[in-house]
Chains A and B, each alone.
Chain A
Amino acid sequence: MTLYSAPDQALLHAAVEQVWGSMLFEAADPWPANVPADFETGLQAHIEIRGGWNGLLLLTCNSDVATQIAGALLGLGPDETVDELDVHDAVGEVLNVVGGSVKGAIAGAMTLGLPGVRPSASPPSSEESLVVSWRGSPVHVQIIPDADRPEGL
């Protein structure tokens, strides 16, 4: 297995594809470049990787997407409701599994933190993210080295 010195978008996309396919049973199609990937309120999950590479992975999506992801993970029908705790839990767990896959591909002794989830007022710019599609909505996934770490995270 090829080990990376730092994660890149190709590694990240492969990890997201694996999770989308095997946990969410959807394809992680790239978001079309000419389509705005904006939304207003949503959730952002973060998880820390430390060791051979130090930084964060972030996953940002709108609230409806977060709820749908939770419903898909829990195997709920379209009319079943998901409580907010489970929505936060689900988004964090999706990033936890992505993070584990990314961490396993980076050279050096590594640790993976616990995922955290917080409200997000707006998504990152598409230039700064891997943007994949979830049922017609954008999901932003980012690699943030320590040097570029936002305040508060």
Chain B
Amino acid sequence: MKVIIADDSRVMRQIVLRTLRQAGFGHHDFVEATDGADALDKVATESPDLVLSDWNMPNKTGIELLRDLRGSGNAVPFGFVTSEGSEEMREAAQAAGALFLIAKPFTPEHFESALVGMLG
């Protein structure tokens, strides 16, 4: 399966990748996006099976990305990986169509729990 990882921090994208491998998902294809606008372009060109996105990014935030996707009829499974894990944020994420929100700092178990059944 193909997964887009969207975060303006290259370091955080590497941490997400490493944690996904530790959670047993390393055999999938991963595409990195540097912000919400880049992720929107890559969803169109890569047709991913899942988008993992930071919330706060320049050019287009993660929530704006999700709303753009859903607004255009794109139902790609979407989850947030973000430093902000408040109840308010989780409700906003769910309302916009996200399947989950993983708060930083995270563990492999957080990814395992969120993605089991979605990524083999």
Q: How far is the CB of A98 from chain B (nearest CB, A)?
A: 8
- Per-residue 0/1 for B102-120: is the Cβ within 8 Å of any A Cβ (1 yes, 0 no)? 0111110000000000000
> Does B28 sit within 8 A of A, measured CB to CB?
no
- A97-B104 contact in complex given A112-B84, A114-B56, C-beta closer than 8 Å: yes
Residues of A within 8 A of B8 (CB): 114
**A interface residues, tally (CB under 8 Å):** 25
A100 contacts B83, C-beta separation under 8 Å: yes
Contact A100 B10 (CB under 8 A): no
Which size bracket describes the interface of B in this complex? Answer: 20 to 34
Known A-B contacts A18-B105, A19-B105, A22-B107; the reply to A93 vs B12 at CB < 8 A is: yes
Interface positions, chain A 2-28, Cβ under 8 Å from B, are 18-19, 22-23
- Once A103-B84, A104-B84, A114-B58 are accepted as A-B contacts, the answer to whether A97 and B105 lie under 8 Å apart by CB is yes
Interface residues of B (CB under 8 A from A): 8-12, 14-15, 18, 56-58, 82-86, 88-89, 103-107
